[in-house]
Homo-oligomer: A and B are copies of this chain.
Amino acid sequence: MNETLYEELTALLESKDYPALRARLREMAYPDIAEFIMSLDDDQRLVKAFRILPKDSSADVFAYLDSDAQQTIVEKITDKEVERLIDDLYVDDAVDFLEEVPANVVRKVLANTDKETREIINRFLEYPDNSAGSAMTIEMVELHDDWTVGEAIKNIRRTGVDKETIYTCYCIDRGRHLVGTIPLRRLILNDEDTPLRDIMSDDEQLISVSTLDDQEQVAAIAKKYDLLSVPVVDKEHRLVGIITIDDIVDIIDEEATEDFEKMALLRPSEDEYLKTNVFVLAKNRIVWLLVLMVSATFTGQIIEGFEAKLATIAGLTACIPMLMDTGGNAGNQVSTLIIRGLALGEIQIKDYFRVLWKEIRVSVMVGITLSLANAARMFLLRFIIGGDTSNGVILVVCLAIVAAVMVAKIIGCTLPIIAKLLHLDPALMAGPMITTMVDAISLLIYFSIANALI
């Protein structure tokens, strides 16, 4: 939304020219209206702006608001308005909203819905977080498998206005079991008297998930088969809901964000950064920092145990940070590739030995290049500045670099796959975790080589 439009809308709101404001909002897309409403600092004006929306679009706009704005509105509007709003919302949007707001708001909402809606909402709220059940909606087009195309289109015309999507229709039998899918496109392009059974996709092409499946799996299926919606079935294969592509796109973003956070050793949070208070931010960060801080003291002990020798041989100490950082970075690179590959399904556990063999070859190449560059740097430095770094020290450092890179690459490709094997999240085996392990091992190797050669 551009600045001029925003200023125009604010001016209309301030001058209380509500008819003009309403007319202006009517021309705008729902996400833009929601953006405008969320930008209003004053709660009174926020609620006012929401209330003057045309009745048929207020639920659509509400679904695009963040939970703070949703909560403010529901607290301020009348019971009658709440009833109408919840009635107009798709079930998945209503549930998303109720999952985020405090208990008193949930109570106000449930008190103002009819028994049937209340039961549906309560059932949805019971599905585990991040399950297909918690992400689905019930507003889908259900067609009976003994209908014809003509009957199906007539049904869609009658009921379609309340459906979240009509582009993929689901065929059910008398027992409500999912028996086939038909894209609306196929209905439009076929003759009126074609039986649905002749054109619906069934057998192997009938893809569905069950209510307790993880949403990540739903996203993977939608991506693989390019679906606009994924049907959700219960244990008896009865159709209970669908998950539409707009929600799947959100799931894809959420899952990637979760991986980014886990890889940086943050406790995943579903809230946006700017909306999270500092205590929560601190809490989400502290546990892993503590664990790794304590682990890093082992590396410290290793250095301390070698301190006498370090003090006597010039140049050995100065290379410690370089070795640690290079090992850490090299490990981080490969673990990132493996974690992402596992997440996208491009790498499987069974590929481990192919990965390992690749990494061994890559690490030899990378290690030798880095250690040649380092030798050049150290010789050059000695030549220009002087200093008493011996050839022996240069050799030790170069060998240690190759070893550190190899250890880092091997650990970096192994740990995420082991995590996957143990049904842990591979994303935890990312940079920081690997760095801590690689640090200790590569310093041990460094000092052993030094002991042996000098």
Contacts and interface: CB of A to CB of B under 8 A. Distances in A.
Interface in A338-387: 338-341, 344, 346-347, 351, 354-355, 358, 361-362, 365-366, 369-370, 373-374, 377
Contacts of A432: 325, 328-329, 332, 431
Complex copy number for this chain: 2
A449 interface: no
B307 A311 contact: yes
A120 interface: no
A271 to B, nearest CB: 10
A204 B35 CA distance: 14
Interface residues of A, number: 114
Interface stretch (A70-78, A122-130, A131-139, A254-262): A254-262
Contact of A321 (B153, B300, B310, B361): B300
A166 interface: yes
A330 B293 CA distance: 11
A210 to B, nearest CB: 16
Contacts of A333: 264-266, 285, 289
Interface stretch (A47-55, A218-226, A230-238): A218-226
A286 interface: yes
Interface stretch (A10-18, A81-89, A156-164, A417-425): A156-164
A205 B29 contact: yes
A378 to B, nearest CB: 9
A422 B19 CA distance: 43
Contacts of A297: 318-319, 321-322, 377
Contact of A332 (B153, B264, B317, B338): B264
A310 B206 CA distance: 69
Nearest to A302: B321
A341 B166 CA distance: 33
Given A157-B188, A264-B431, A329-B432, A282 B249 contact: no
Nearest to A271: B346
Interface of A: 5, 27-29, 31-32, 153, 156-157, 160-161, 166-167, 184-185, 188-189, 201, 203-205, 207, 222-226, 228, 245-246, 248-250, 252-253, 256-257, 259-261, 263-266, 272-274, 278-279, 281-282, 285-286, 288-290, 292-294, 296-297, 299-301, 303-304, 307, 310-311, 315, 317-322, 324-326, 328-330, 332-333, 335-341, 344, 346-347, 351, 354-355, 358, 361-362, 365-366, 369-370, 373-374, 377, 401, 431-432, 435-436, 439, 443
Given A27-B204, A248-B249, A259-B260, 7 more contacts: A252-B252, A272-B341, A289-B329, A289-B330, A290-B369, A303-B317, A321-B439
